[in-house]
């Protein structure tokens, strides 16, 4: 690993399971040492023979308030919890959403038994769904479970399958969408497929049904990577944006308005961090998603 950045060495080595952004923050806060000397530059290149150490401090107690918000619990044990997040629920506190989030609900439901590795604002959170995406999520109750689940997400071994209703019909009917995703250079609030920089991203899709006389289609997406807005950005890049997506699509004339992006995470599979058992959860499409699908149905055919 000689010549590799310090943050990457630590994220891939002794701190495996801790996100690289978290490792970077710990380095900048003075928790890393090379041959006993504190180093605060995450980009510092390591040399052969050096001893690199990272001190991971005890997690800070969450400052968020527990709120009795109803949760749809799919599975729960002493290590983790799987919930079915409704559309409209923000995952963790952020500017403009200081309360009423999934984190607030989990703090009340789990009564203090959430992993603290995610930091003050995100106890238990291993991954996220956009506010207006419905679907299955897993949260960690212990630090050990958090590290293991984070590692599974990092190595892209977690199964995540989404149903999406898009504008038009993808051509070809099934395939892969590749393209690094980064900040849109013209609008920093958006993500985009970028020619340089960004993070590698791969989405596999297949068309399930043609809707509304070929003005829309129901497709299934499987994530090989997990980038911010990945499915939304990738589908928009092939001119089949999600219906109802206020950021990456325009309203399609003649089609009913969904009121949110038509994306539903209906399958989630991963290895249990304690037992090693493969857990796989599949549920029917969200009720509002099904109602919207019914509105769009008419003469249709399933793609083989």
Instruction: Band the pLDDT of 211: cuts 50, 70, 90.
Output: very high
Taking Cα atoms as reference points, which of 132, 167, 164 lies closest to residue 254? 167
In this predicted structure, what is the pLDDT of residue 260? 96
By mean pLDDT, which of 54-58, 136-140, 175-179, 204-208 is the weakest?
Answer: 54-58
Instruction: Band the pLDDT of 303: cuts 50, 70, 90.
Output: very low
Say yes or no: 287 and 174 in one domain. Answer: yes
Instruction: Band the pLDDT of 14: cuts 50, 70, 90.
Output: low
Q: Which residue has the higher pLDDT, 302 or 114?
A: 114
Say yes or no: 116 and 225 in one domain. Answer: no
- Mean pLDDT, range 120-134, rounded to an integer: 90
Q: Phi and psi for 12 in degrees, rounded to 5?
A: -90, -10
Domain termination residue (choose one: 101, 129, 155):
155
Residue 63 lies in a domain: no
Residue 304 lies in a domain: no
Q: 81: domain CATH number?
A: 3.30.2350.10
Say yes or no: 47 and 120 in one domain. Answer: no
Q: 37: domain CATH number?
A: 3.10.290.10
Per-residue model confidence as pLDDT tens digits over 141-173: 999 999 899 999 989 999 999 999 999 999 999
Q: Measured between alpha carbons, how far is 44 from 37 in angstroms, rounded to an integer? A: 13
Cis ω for the linkage preceding 136 (within 30 of 0): no
Residue 91 lies in a domain: yes
Residue 66 lies in a domain: no
Residue 117 lies in a domain: yes
In this predicted structure, what is the pLDDT of residue 300? 44
- Mean pLDDT, range 196-216, rounded to an integer: 95
Say yes or no: 150 and 121 in one domain. Answer: yes
Say yes or no: 246 and 164 in one domain. Answer: yes
Say yes or no: 291 and 179 in one domain. Answer: yes
- Mean pLDDT, range 95-107, rounded to an integer: 87
Say yes or no: 219 and 284 in one domain. Answer: yes
Task: Note down the domain range covering 131.
Answer: 73-155
In this predicted structure, what is the pLDDT of residue 188? 82
Domain termination residue (choose one: 132, 155, 178):
155
Question: Which residues belong to the active site?
Answer: 130
Taking Cα atoms as reference points, which of 42, 45, 47 lies closest to residue 15? 42
Domain termination residue (choose one: 155, 189, 209):
155
In this predicted structure, what is the pLDDT of residue 233? 97
Q: 0.85 cut: is pTM over it? A: no
Q: How many domains does the chain have?
A: 3
Per-residue model confidence as pLDDT tens digits over 224-240: 999 999 999 999 999 99
Q: Measured between alpha carbons, how far is 220 from 282 in angstroms, rounded to an integer? A: 13
Say yes or no: 15 and 42 in one domain. Answer: yes
Residue 65 lies in a domain: no
Residue 190 lies in a domain: yes
Say yes or no: 145 and 164 in one domain. Answer: no
Say yes or no: 288 and 170 in one domain. Answer: yes
What separation, in Å, do the N-terminal and C-terminal C-alpha atoms of the chain show? 46
- Mean pLDDT, range 69-74, rounded to an integer: 96
Can you read off the two tokens belonging to residue 213? 């006389």
In this predicted structure, what is the pLDDT of residue 113? 86
């Amino acid at each position: 690993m000689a010549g590799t950045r310090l943050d990457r060495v630590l994220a891939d080595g002794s701190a495996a399971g801790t996100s690289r952004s978290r490792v970077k923050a710990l380095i900048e806060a003075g928790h890393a040492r090379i041959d006993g000397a504190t180093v605060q530059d995450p980009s510092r290149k390591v040399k052969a023979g050096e001893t690199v150490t990272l001190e991971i401090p005890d997690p800070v107690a969450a400052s968020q308030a527990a709120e009795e918000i109803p949760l749809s619990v799919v599975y729960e044990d002493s290590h983790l919890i799987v919930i079915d997040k409704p559309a409209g629920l923000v995952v963790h506190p952020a500017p403009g959403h200081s309360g009423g989030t999934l984190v607030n609900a989990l703090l009340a439901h789990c009564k203090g038994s959430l992993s603290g590795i995610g930091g003050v604002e995100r106890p238990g959170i291993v991954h996220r769904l956009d506010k207006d995406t419905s679907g299955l999520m897993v949260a960690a109750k212990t630090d050990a479970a958090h590290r293991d689940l984070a590692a599974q997400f990092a190595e892209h071994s977690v199964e995540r399958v989404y149903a999406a209703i898009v504008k038009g019909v993808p051509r070809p009917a099934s395939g892969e969408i590749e393209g690094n995703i980064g900040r849109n250079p013209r609008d920093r609030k958006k993500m985009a497929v970028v020619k340089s920089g960004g993070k590698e991203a791969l989405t596999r899709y297949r068309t399930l049904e043609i809707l509304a006389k070929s003005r829309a289609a129901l497709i299934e997406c499987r994530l090989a990577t997990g980038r911010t807005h990945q499915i939304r950005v990738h589908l928009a890049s092939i001119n089949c944006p999600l219906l109802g997506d206020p950021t990456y699509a325009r309203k399609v004339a003649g089609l009913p308005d969904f009121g949110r992006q038509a994306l539903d995470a209906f399958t989630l599979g991963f290895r249990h961090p304690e037992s090693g058992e493969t857990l796989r959860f599949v549920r029917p499409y969200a009720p509002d998603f099904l109602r919207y699908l019914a509105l769009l149905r008419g003469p249709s055919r399933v793609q083989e």
